[in-house]
Amino acid sequence: MFRIPLALAVLALAACSPDFDPASRVEKLRLLAVRADPPEIEPPSATAAAPDRAALTALVLRGDLSARPATVLYVACLPGPDSSPTPCTTLATLRDPAALAVEATRAACPGAAVAPVVFAGAEVCSAGACGPARATLDGTVVDFPPPALALPPGYGFGGLPRGSPERALGTFAPVLAFAVDAAPDELAGAAPGGCPAARLGAGLARLWGEREHVLAEKRVHVRGPEAPDAPNRNPAVAGIAASGAALGEAPPSPLGAGRWALRPLLPPDAGALHDLETTLDASGAPVGRAPEEWVYSWFSTAGEIDVLHTREPEPDEWRLAAGDVAGGGRALVAVVVRDLRGGTAWVTREVALRP
Amino acid sequence: MRPPTPLLLLALAAAGPGLAVAQSPGALTRAPAVVEPAAPVYPPAARAAGRSAEVVLELELSAEGRVAAARVLQPAGDGFDEAALEAGRRLRFSPAEVDGSPSAVVIEYRFRFEAPAAPPPAPRAILRGQVLERGTREPIPGALVAACGKTGISGGDGRFALLDLPPGPCAVSLSDPGHERFVTEELLEAGKAVEARYYLLRALDDPYQAVVVGERERKEVTTVTVTSGELSRVAGVSGDTVKVVQNLPGVARAPGGLGLLVVRGGNPGDTRVYVDGVEVPTIFHFGGLTSIVPAEAVEAVDFEAGNFGVRHGRATGGMVELRTRDPQRKLHLVADANLFHAMAFAEGPVGEGATLSVGLRRSYADAVVREAARSSKDFGVAVAPRYYDYQARLAWRPGPDDALRLSVTGSDDRMELTGMELGGNLRQGALRLGNAFVQGAASWEHRFSDATRARLAVAQAYFDVSRQMGSVGSERDQLHITNLRAETSHDLSASLGLAVGVDARFLPRAHLRVEFPLIPPPNQLPSPDAPRVRAELRLRGTEAGAWAEARWSPAASLQVVAGLRGDRYTILGAARWLDPRLGVRWSPREGTTLKGGAGLYHQPVQAAAYRTEQWGNPRLGPEGARHFMLGLEQRVAGPVSLDLQLYRKQLFDLALPVEGPERYANLGTGQVTGAELLLRWAPGGRFGGWLSYSYSRSVRHQQVVGGTLVPTGDAFDQPHNLTALGTVELPEVWQGLSAGFRLRYTSGNPYRRVLGALLDADGGSYQPVPELAAGARTPPFFQLDLRVDKRWTWKTWILSAYLEVQNATNRKNPELAAYSYDYSRQGWASGLPLFPAFGIRAEY
């Protein structure tokens, strides 16, 4: 019934594909992950186990490790409780995603009509860390709302009949993260007129095609009233070890040419964070229950990472050639851990390249 | 002394000399008696001539009994007289006595000459035996056998006998128009027969040329038939029967060498494949590596790109029919090995009028894959890809009007790779594919009269299919399928014939256990975390059709074929329809035929998932197509013929993914327009091959991204498709050597360019955002394949070997667009580079 004829062709042709740069190598503006905290939200009710709001943040890196800021603007779509399609996942709108940002930021202006897309805040990120987005507009310093997804009042699953799969499965609210190589001042200043959010959105649309940019989608799980498990928690990672030695935060650990076995360093309570996950089928019926699996994704701004994703307990390998370290300087290595249920965490470490 | 007394001679009739005594006065008291006989010398000439004679002599005997004088009384001539006189004079007698006293007498003496009996003739020799073809051991009837001035002709079984040959060394020569002359020498012995078998080498060295036996299906308007002789040495397909069809006009080139049959712009599932009238749901191992029926078992392949008659239905595309052959009447063994698999095959007689064949084929590339996978960090190999297939066939002709056939066919594919990340999420799982089926079939053909025939075929099959696609989903299908085909034809007159028939497919029991997410709706970004729909389906139902066809020839050069077909299905939905079809062939002159056809064709939606309640729309109706065709067949010269066709297909009621709870609706439409040219050089001589060119434009009027499981025909829209292939015999270079080539040029396939991409923050990979309509085309495809075959032919067996180089120019043909991890850069995933393949075959 379900044929996979071309899967074999794809497999067969994989050996004859061009040799592109690996995804683990960071050379330009990259948005590597988006985290929602908590990863699951729930409409308010007497029995709600999760809050109705999640803070959002992103991991943005540059290959040149410069401190030049990048702005990340968030747009969220709220599906109906029946998981109906939203503009955030419709291909027709994604062919011109900047227009979606314009629509969402305009709708955030006071008095504007309600739109199916919501402006969910903005932040500024550089060197692996993010902070509030602030711009000076017409002499006034404006703080843009911190990134967050909040369920609107009245949102819930009450209208669904008993037995609806969504009551157990919940639904997913897609959040689009627009990362662009520009500071908020530059974005908001590029499009005069309108409320600050609208100016921010318009400026992003104007510079979107001119500057390095990355678009990401984060699916935030909205729990149903009959969800079988406790609310999911984000995983945690405390550091990175290279060939057994933890890489320091400050000052950066020195590393020379060679092969370095990379492992994530987990906090003491990491084991407790491996929540039990109940797998549900499309009708909401449970089909299995097992501890969640954490997958680690590795990135670096120098050298070559062996594989993009690893699973415990296998390490990854970071190969620094003589040419990578010849000029000295710094490099950055990052690991993103995902629990494959929407939970995300990361850590970055700078290293001093030693010839 | 008294004078000799004349004595009367008494004639004596005894052999040998005769004696008579002449009586004179006085009384003979003692007759003379021979005391010293003398044999006359037989005159040589008379002896050689075999003449006999009697000579009467008068002898004067002295009183002592000596012959004093002799004279011939009764001559005989020829030297007999002289011989008799000479012998007479040597005779000595006892003295005769007259009155008691020795006396001279005169006697008559008779010499009788008897010719010696003819010596027994010297014994002759016999040469007899059989004339056979070298390698195949096929008897050669009508061969001229000449030995020692005598000639004979071999009979139907190749046997001959030459009698009355002189003993001793004898030059023997055998000749036949289709074989090389053979000369040898035999030592013949008198009175003995020499038994000999002579093996003649086929003159054009093509022992694989098919000999079609039995009744052939009436030719449809657009049928192209490829015989096994043509199939076996086409370059680039390693002897695969169905893949050869991909080189005919009307068939788009499939990417990556896969076995997809995209015929005249239709979807890959629109073309049916039959083996001896029974539809097979899967004709290829692993969806396209090699077909499940080895070339050894195939007599010919019929291909109809469109406008096929009412005998086949429930298909809107084309039709491929593999006709397997009856086992041979002599023992025939084959062992064959190539880069992919090894095969063993045996056939021969098993009693009066019955023949049996069995075959088995098994791949061994799994050993190679297993080793290669050891070094891969991307996946593991739990079961390396491997396949095998087997066939057995019994054919029995109890009489001249009946043919019964029983067959068993089976196939098994298996593969399991572990640690695969599929479906865009990071969850690992196995990629498992298992396809097994076994089918038993029985058919009976009966000729009631020259005008009336009937055929009945029944087949029972069991399928066991299992698939797992990583963490995305899995499926296990176990189906029992019964196929039935019955038809009868009757010629009402020399110009009018009728045929009716039914064909049906019963699903008495089918158990499907499926776990797959909902098919993403169209125009939406798919969700990698979509939960699975789990369903256990127990299906029962029928797909059946009945048809009637009239063949009318109002004139000798004109044939009109009109038919009506009705179909009904009750599996995953229900529908019925009527399809009228018309075909015309007109031959205004010898060697020229104009043809045309028009017809209506329907089929159930082929992607079964679209018809389910769980993943699709159970109220989805059938899809349809109208076929129109005009064409010309022209015999150009000798073995060269030309076939030109113009066609148009109107597609309607195509299953289209729609937004909303309905999921699929019969709202799709499209059309295909094209022209096809086939210039063919018939095999049987030094060269065989064809040039095929297709011009085709396949359009779907609705553009939808996503929502489908398989690509539609417009994804393979190749405006230009040119294939030239041929095989030439080179006995002057090396006996048994032949060389072949296949040259292909096709337009690239259309594809949707990626306009952008977004990172799936939860899965860590990027998802592309494609344009709505395919606005680009992959670069054209060009490939040259070369093949060399060498055959060594001994008396009773043949050894063949081939070396094939696919993509001899080592061109990197782009097959699919390939992208960097974030879709910011695009390149091409190309097909295989220069790729050698080889095979070796021993045949008895």
Determine the structural domain holding residue A40 and report its residue range.
22-227
3-state SS, residue B6? strand
On whether residue A7 sits in a domain, the answer given is no
Average pLDDT of chain B to the nearest whole number: 88
Residues A112 and A172 in one domain: yes
Residues A147 and A214 in one domain: yes
In whole angstroms, give the CA distance from residue B643 to residue B591.
11
> What are the tens digits of pLDDT across the range B149-193?
888 999 988 999 998 898 889 999 999 888 888 999 999 988 888
In whole angstroms, give the CA distance from residue B19 to residue B94.
13
Predicted confidence at residue B623, as pLDDT, reads: 97
H and E: helices and strands count for chain B: 5, 50
Binary contact (B829, A295; C-beta < 8 A):
no
Q: Between A8 and B302, where is the model more confident?
A: B302
End-to-end, the C-alpha distance of chain A in Å comes to 58
Residue B353 confidence class, pLDDT cut points 50, 70, 90: confident
Q: Is the pLDDT of residue B218 over 60?
A: no
In whole angstroms, give the CA distance from residue A298 to residue B141.
78
Q: Is the pLDDT of residue A248 over 80?
A: yes
Predicted confidence at residue B732, as pLDDT, reads: 87
The CB-based long-range contact list for B563-569 (8 Å cut-off, 24+ gap) reads B563/B309, B563/B310, B564/B310, B565/B310, B565/B313, B567/B313, B567/B314, B567/B543, B567/B602, B568/B542, B568/B543, B568/B544, B569/B314, B569/B541, B569/B542, B569/B543, B569/B544, B569/B604, B569/B622
Predicted confidence at residue B2, as pLDDT, reads: 40
Window 797-816 of B: residues touching A by CB (8 A cutoff) are: 812, 815-816
**Which chain B residues are closer than 8 Å to A285 by Cβ?**
534
Number of compact structural domains in chain A: 2
Please count the other Cβ atoms lying within 10 Å of the Cβ belonging to residue B124. Answer: 14
In whole angstroms, give the CA distance from residue B423 to residue B402.
55
Residue B384 β-bridge partners: none
**Which chain B residues are closer than 8 Å to A309 by Cβ?**
421, 426, 764
- Give a three-class secondary structure readout of B811-831: CCCEEEEEECCCCCCEEEEEC
C-alpha distances out from residue B200 to A126, B146, B186, B563, B795, Å: 87, 14, 16, 49, 8
Residues A74 and A164 in one domain: yes
3-state SS, residue B271? coil
Binary contact (A214, B608; C-beta < 8 A):
no
B1: buried, middle or exposed (CB in 10 Å: 19+, 13-18, 0-12)? exposed
Residues A212 and A242 in one domain: no
On whether residue A124 sits in a domain, the answer given is yes
Predicted confidence at residue B1, as pLDDT, reads: 38
What is the domain-level CATH number for residue A347?
2.60.40
On whether residue A339 sits in a domain, the answer given is yes
Q: What is the CATH number of domain B228-324?
A: 2.170.130.10
Cis peptide before B43 (omega within 30 of 0): no
* Closest residue in chain B to residue A171, using alpha carbons only: B530
Q: Is B613 on the interface with A (CB under 8 A)?
A: no
Cis peptide before A313 (omega within 30 of 0): yes
Counted residue by residue, chain B has a size of 844
Q: Is B166 on the interface with A (CB under 8 A)?
A: no
- Rounded mean pLDDT, B574-588: 96
On whether residue A269 sits in a domain, the answer given is yes
Q: Is the pLDDT of residue B144 over 60?
A: yes
Q: Between A23, A217, A282, which is nearest B758 by CB?
A: A217
Q: Is the pLDDT of residue B209 over 50?
A: no
Report the sign of the C-alpha dihedral through residues A57, A62, A67, A68, in that order.
negative
3-state SS, residue A221? strand
Q: B667: which 2 tokens?
A: 């709202």
Q: Between A13, A215, A340, which is nearest B756 by CB?
A: A215
Residues A265 and A199 in one domain: no
Lowest mean pLDDT among A203-217, B123-137, B441-455, B688-702: B123-137
Reported CATH class of domain B332-843: mainly beta
Residues A258 and A216 in one domain: no
Element (H, E) at B108: strand B105-113
- How far is A274 from chain B, CA to nearest CA, in Å? 16
In whole angstroms, give the CA distance from residue B718 to residue B724.
17
Helix then strand then coil, in percent of chain B rounded to 5, is 5, 55, 35
Q: pTM of the entire structure?
A: 0.83
What's phi and psi for B784, nearest 5 deg? -120, 125
Residue B410 β-bridge partners: B390, B438
Size of interface A-B (CB pairs under 8 A): 185
Q: Between A23, A177, A281, which is nearest B533 by CB?
A: A281
Fold match between B228-324 and B332-843? no
Residues 6+ away with beta carbon under 8 Å from A161: none
- Using only C-alpha atoms, what is the Rg of chain B? 45
Reported CATH class of domain B125-200: mainly beta
Element (H, E) at A97: helix A97-107
How many whole angstroms from its chain centre is CA A70?
15
Predicted confidence at residue B442, as pLDDT, reads: 96
Residues A212 and A271 in one domain: no
Q: Is the pLDDT of residue B211 over 60?
A: no
Q: Shortest CA distance to B111 belongs to which of B175, B19, B43? A: B19
> What are the tens digits of pLDDT across the range B582-627?
999 999 999 899 999 999 999 999 999 999 999 999 999 999 999 9
Q: Shortest CA distance to A1 belongs to which of B526, B296, B516? A: B516
3-state SS, residue A168? helix
Residues A104 and A122 in one domain: yes
In whole angstroms, give the CA distance from residue B532 to residue A178.
31
On whether residue A214 sits in a domain, the answer given is yes
Binary contact (A281, B532; C-beta < 8 A):
yes
> What are the tens digits of pLDDT across the range B358-413?
999 999 877 666 666 665 666 677 777 899 999 999 999 998 899 999 999 999 99
Residue A12 confidence class, pLDDT cut points 50, 70, 90: low
Q: Is the pLDDT of residue B3 over 50?
A: no
- How far is B483 from chain A, CA to nearest CA, in Å? 20
Residues A136 and A193 in one domain: yes
Q: Is the pLDDT of residue A148 over 80?
A: yes
DSSP state of B475: E
* Closest residue in chain B to residue A56, using alpha carbons only: B761
Residues 6+ away with beta carbon under 8 Å from B839: B238, B239, B336, B337, B338, B339, B801, B802, B804
Q: A99: which 2 tokens?
A: 């227009």
Q: Shortest CA distance to B251 belongs to which of B305, B302, B291? A: B305
CATH superfamily of B5-113: TonB (3.30.2420.10)
Q: How many CA atoms lie within 13 A of B825 on its CB side?
A: 11
- Cβ atoms A135, A223 nearer than 8 A: no
Element (H, E) at B551: strand B532-555
- How far is A217 from chain B, CA to nearest CA, in Å? 5
> What are the tens digits of pLDDT across the range A118-144?
999 999 998 889 999 999 988 889 999
In whole angstroms, give the CA distance from residue B154 to residue B174.
10
In whole angstroms, give the CA distance from residue B821 to residue A21.
8
On whether residue A17 sits in a domain, the answer given is no
Q: Is the pLDDT of residue B118 over 60?
A: yes
In whole angstroms, give the CA distance from residue B610 to residue B599.
26
On whether residue A4 sits in a domain, the answer given is no
Please count the other Cβ atoms lying within 10 Å of the Cβ belonging to residue A269. Answer: 8
Predicted confidence at residue B342, as pLDDT, reads: 93
Binary contact (B769, A94; C-beta < 8 A):
yes
**Which chain A residues are closer than 8 Å to B420 by Cβ?**
none
Q: Where are the alpha helices (DSSP H) in B483-619?
A: none
The percent of residues above 90 in pLDDT, for chain A, comes to 75
From A203, A227, A251, give the residue that closes a domain. A227
Residues A27 and A148 in one domain: yes
Unique residue bearing structure tokens 């299919």: B465
**B130 dihedral zone (left: phi>0; alpha: psi -120 to 50; beta):** beta
> What are the tens digits of pLDDT across the range B253-300?
988 777 788 999 988 889 998 988 888 767 888 867 788 888 888 888
Binary contact (A91, B759; C-beta < 8 A):
no
Binary contact (A2, B764; C-beta < 8 A):
no
> What are the tens digits of pLDDT across the range B750-796?
999 999 999 999 999 999 999 999 999 999 999 999 999 999 998 88
Binary contact (B427, A293; C-beta < 8 A):
yes
Q: Is the pLDDT of residue B8 over 90?
A: no
Q: B22: which 2 tokens?
A: 């002449």
Q: Is B367 on the interface with A (CB under 8 A)?
A: no
- Give a three-class secondary structure readout of B313-366: CCCCCCEEEEEECCCCCCCEEEEEEECCEEEEEEEEECCCCEEEEEEEEEECHH
- Rounded mean pLDDT, B559-574: 95
Residues A209 and A353 in one domain: no
B192: buried, middle or exposed (CB in 10 Å: 19+, 13-18, 0-12)? exposed
C-alpha distances out from residue B803 to A64, B368, B752, Å: 54, 20, 39
- Cβ atoms B801, B790 nearer than 8 A: yes
- Cβ atoms B311, B219 nearer than 8 A: no
> What are the tens digits of pLDDT across the range B75-114?
999 999 999 999 999 999 999 999 888 999 999 999 999 9
In whole angstroms, give the CA distance from residue B303 to residue B246.
10
DSSP state of A17: S
∠B197-B202-B208 over CA atoms, to 5°? 110
Q: Between B258, B469, B820, which is nearest A4 by CB?
A: B469
Residues 6+ away with beta carbon under 8 Å from B109: B9, B17, B18, B19, B20, B56, B57, B58, B59, B70, B88, B91
* Closest residue in chain B to residue A15, using alpha carbons only: B829
In whole angstroms, give the CA distance from residue B759 to residue A184.
22
Q: Per-domain residue ranges for chain B? A: 5-113, 125-200, 228-324, 332-843
Residues A344 and A219 in one domain: no
Q: Is B486 on the interface with A (CB under 8 A)?
A: no
Q: Between B710, B761, B833, which is nearest A218 by CB?
A: B761
